[in-house]
Structure 1
Amino acid sequence: EGVGGLGFNTNEWPFDDIEVRKAFSHIWNLEKLMDKLFFNEYVGTNSYWPWSKYEHPDNPIQDYNPDKALQILNKAGWKKNLDEKWLSKDGKQFEIDMYTYAGWDRIHNSLVNDLESIGIKLNLVVIQNPFEKYIQKTFTMHYGGWTGRPIPDPDQSLHSKYADDIDVTNATSMANKTIDSLIEAYEANWNFDERVQIMQKIDSVSTREYHFIFGWAAPYGWRGLYQNRFGMPERGLSYGSNRYHKHWGGWANHILLWWSDPEKKELLRQARQSDTMSLPIDRELIDYWNKLSK
């Protein structure tokens, strides 16, 4: 998996203030979104390289805590009087726009409501291609993400030399000298274990810059219906594109790795001819990452 979620334009108001970004990491009720809209099919992430060896185990937790978010904003100078609905600072109301795709309001309306509850007005602006605004850095806040790679390349997405460029994966304008130094050390090091440690440090520093409210991802490689006549491997497959099948598998690789089990096939034949016979249900989840245990 690659990084995904709500990315901020840190070169522009109001997200040029790290305290505002930090507050936003406690504003969106993702657990409610998972339960009410996504049927608990997804799991929240908390890293630039979620569920991989490169994820730092002590990244700051981004949980739904509106009281904490409001406390951070108040400390940063955002206030509202008892007769006011919206927060303001230096006479400017906290109102922002977010470009979104047609139909995505069903997801982002919950964010609108969560922000409104603490005094922030979010306007959803439907356009044909929000990603173009994102990559051109003419956005305020954008929901989206990047695919992962078998061997991470943090240079393009996190090095400060791309912070002011457009059409780059460093669309949030990350510019941190510590991250730059770690990236350069990573690229000069050919020891695999040491590279993993460096990547974890990069993840730790990057997450503490709060350029993303991390979103959600599917902790599985495939969902589908199938006849109960197949044998299958003990472990599941993660998601991957055609290009990377040799590294970690693709969503259709079950077709290659499952096999027709003669005993199951015969039982299925008998069950089809019987009005009373039922077949045992095989395990429906292969939860290799232990992300769906709840």
Structure 2
Amino acid sequence: MTSVCFPKMQRMTAAIALVILGVQAQAEPRHGIAMYGDPALPADFTALPYANPDAPKGGRIITGNSGSFDSLNPFVRKGTVPWQLRFFAYESLMGRNWGEPFALYGLLAESIETAEDRSWVEFTLREEARFSDGAPVTVEDVIWSYETLGTVGHPRYLGFWQQVEKIEATGPRSVRLTFNTDNRELALIAGLRPILQKAQFDGKVFEDITLQDVPIGTAPYVISDFEAGRFVTLTRDENYWGKDLPFRQGTQNFDEIKIDFFGDNAVMFEAFKAGEISYLREFNAEKWAASYDFPLAQSGDIVKSEIPHQKPSGITGFVMNTRRAPLDDIRVRDALMHVFNFEFINDTMTGGRQPRITSYFSGSLLGMEDGPATGRVAEFLTPFADSLPPEALAGYSLPQSNGSVRNRANLRKAMGLMEDAGWTVVDGKMQNASGEVLSLEVLLKQGDTENKAITDIYAKALEGLGAEVTITLVDGPQYKLRTNAFDFDLTNYRRAISLSPGNEQLLYWGSDAADQEGSRNLMGVKSPAIDAMIDKMLSSTSQEDFVAATKALDRVLTTGRYVIPIWNYAVGRVAHQKELHYPEQLPIYGDGVEWLPGVWWYQQ
């Protein structure tokens, strides 16, 4: 009997050993981590694939922002901060490779270790990691940063911290986070939290620090000069601790980056034409084709570069605040979408050169497909069928016009939808049963000339529906206060989406974020189906399930009629001084702040 069973027992023991070894292998410290499978770059990689390790250091660039600023702390809700600071002046434990969907490599941390189910993650700090004042980065700094940002920091950090069961030191240079939810992305998100210096804020209230109290970071750039509302200058730190890291080869090449502020985009464009700004991103295809023939461009001193990418379209347009009646009625939102004459507006604004966004993830493998939902997508959505618009399962496409200014067919459709919702036209005004006129306020930031022009055309069409429309222009701080408090009917809206959407989806359209002041869920949507699809995305263990859950989410968001989409930025357009250069190999994400100016360089 023993002679018969022993080989079988050996096989079982060997199988168990392989499982144990597999778990141990997964839990060993590694140089990087990917959302699924292994990271693409090996442990001995020498540079990011889209960086030029031989790029020269030096030079000075000036970039422009419209509006103003009154804070240099990008980690709290208060104040208006130059948006670039989070990327230029601060670092995290891990850094992203923008050449693959979602993979991180050691930055402040030399290694990452995680459980097979990713219920915990552990980081080991590099011994040489330093803040810009020369102080070492400690485990205590890391723990304090996570706790502080998660409790009194910007709302973008709140959702992650709520999913942390505990954070603890496991060694003199190692720290472990244990999670309380089944969410595979948390191990990666943990690696991207900025690390600040605890000692700097001893005896201070972190969220109340003044403009003079600039948070100390560990990054290659430090803020060397500023004038409130006018400019910020960042200087490359010659003593930067990580300049020899493979992750940093060929990056952060400029000696100085200055951010100048302008009253509006039109003034900023004139400054660029005069040579006062080093580069400019252009989002209007018509302007790109017709307005870049000024003298510096004609002489070749300004160069136009088009940068392709593989990202989803994201959503750009005008968001409707469903917290307010009658925008809480999908029939009213549908009517407003039919009145929006995209084809005419696109021809007027861009010469018809820019295609329309057709869904939140359009243009990528994550986007909803034409026709009825099938396979895993249908399986995920069917339990919520009674609470969803029929088109979520049956199929949907945006309203289209014939391109004429009158848009008669869609206007008739809009009238019918309003009647179904209990609204009728009386004496030329759209009124409900109580005699209240349909009044809509569109909130825009001063200087936003493009959205103002779009809204002017849209407002005339809405008046044809019998609506009363007010376009309100406010300065940057007032705009932020009002959008944080959800004090608007419609406003311009942009949510960029990556090839690896995850926890940020909860901030964009999760139910818990709908009532959080300052959250990014501007439409105020609360949908069990949306929450469930995001949960499936975060807990999926296979790429197949992840893609299906994202396609299903795309259907629910698109058919919910929360945003009136405009055009898709399918290619990046950058006009720049001829002395600015970039590597031939491009990241799959195309243009972005960590590409420009991240891997560009100056050379005569």
Which category of TM-score, normalised to the shorter sequence, fits these structures?
0.7 to 0.9
Identify the match of residue 159 of structure 1 among 510, 522, 525.
Answer: 510
> Which of the numbers 475, 490, 501 marks the counterpart of 1:141?
490
> 1:185-228: CA deviations, max 9, x gaps?
2111121122011100011112121111112122212366999x
Q: Who is 1:215 aligned against?
A: 566
Displacement of 1:96 after TM fit? 1.3
Shift of 1:37: 1.8
- Contact 1:42/1:217, CA 8 A, preserved across alignment: yes
Tell me if 1:87 matches 2:430: yes
Instruction: Work out whether residues 159 and 175 of structure 1, in 8 Å CA contact, stay in contact via their aligned partners in 2.
Output: yes
What percent of counterpart residues are identical? 19
Partners in 1 of 2:344 and 2:589 — Cα distance? 26
Q: Which runs of 5+ in 2 are unaligned?
A: 1-312, 371-394, 402-409
**CA spacing shift, 1:26–1:77, aligned 2, 3 Å:** same
Deviation at 1:95, TM superposition (A): 1.3
Counterpart Cα distance in 1 of 2:591 and 2:576: 20
Given that 1:222 and 1:239 are in contact with CA atoms closer than 8 Å, whether structure 2 keeps it comes out as no
CA distance in 2, matches of 1:40, 1:71: 29
Whichever residue aligns with residue 40 of structure 1, its letter is: G
The one of 105, 113, 122 equivalent to 2:460 is 113
71, 94, 97: which is aligned to 2:441? 97
Q: In structure 2, how many angstroms separate the alpha carbons of the residues matched to 1:3 and 1:101?
A: 19
Contact 2:362-2:368 within 8 A present in 1 as well = no
Q: Distance in 1 between matches of 2:345 and 2:598?
A: 28
Q: Counterpart of 1:177?
A: 528
Distance 1:93 1:126 in 2: 22
- Report the secondary structure of 1:216's partner residue: coil
User: Where do 5+ consecutive residues of structure 1 fail to align?
Assistant: 257-294
Inter-CA distance 110–162: structure 2 relative to 1 (3 Å threshold): same
Shift of 1:101: 2.6
Check the 8 A contact 1:99/1:139 in 2, yes or no. Answer: yes
Structure 2 CA distance for partners of 1:123 and 1:112, relative to 1, 3 Å? same
In the alignment, which of 125, 128, 139 is matched to residue 472 of structure 2?
125
**Is 1:77 equivalent to 2:426 in the alignment?**
no
Q: Matches of 1:31 and 1:252 in 2, distance apart?
A: 37
**Equivalent position to 1:200, from 547, 551, 556:** 551
Give the match's secondary structure for 1:87: strand
1:66 aligns with 2:411: yes
What TM-score do you get using the length of structure 1 for normalisation? 0.74
How far did 1:144 drift? Answer: 1.8
- What's the offset of the Cα at 1:9? 0.9
Number of equivalences: 244
Q: Which residue of 1 aligns with 2:351?
A: 39
Contact persistence 1:47–1:207 (CA under 8 A): yes
Which structure: greater strand fraction?
2
Is the Cα contact below 8 Å between 2:459 and 2:469 reproduced in 1?
Answer: yes
SS of residue paired to 1:151: coil
Shift of 1:2: 2.1
Equivalent-residue separation in structure 2 for 1:94 and 1:134 (angstroms): 21
What is the RMSD of the two structures over their aligned residues, measured on CA atoms?
A: 2.7
Deviations 1:214-247 (A, max 9, x none): 12122212366999xxxx989997643133x4xx
Deviation at 1:34, TM superposition (A): 1.2
SS at match of 1:40: coil
Find the counterpart in structure 2 of residue 28 from structure 1.
340
Contact 2:484 2:519 in 1 (8 A): yes
CA distance in 1, matches of 2:362, 2:517: 26
Q: Describe the shift of the 1:43–1:132 C-alpha distance in structure 2 as closer, same or farther (beyond 3 A).
A: farther
Partners of 1:20 and 1:212 lie apart in 2 by 12
Q: TM-score, normalised by structure 2?
A: 0.38
Alignment check: 8 A CA contact 2:315 2:496 kept: yes
Q: For residue 133 of structure 1, report the CA deviation from its aligned partner.
A: 2.1
Q: Measure, in 1, the Cα distance between the counterparts of 2:346 and 2:598.
A: 25
Aligned-residue offset at 1:27: 1.0
Of the two, which has the highest radius of gyration?
2
CA contact (8 A) 1:239 1:251 kept: no
Q: Distance in 1 between matches of 2:345 and 2:438?
A: 24
Distance change in 2, residues 1:131/1:71 (3 Å): farther
Q: 1:53 to 1:24 in 2, by over 3 A?
A: same
Q: Deviations over 1:24-69 (max 9, x none)?
A: 1211111111111222232211212231221102362222411111
Q: Could you tell me how far apart the structure 2 residues matched to 1:117 and 1:251 are?
A: 46
User: Does the C-alpha gap of structure 1 residues 32 and 131 become closer, same or farther in structure 2, counting only changes over 3 Å?
Assistant: farther
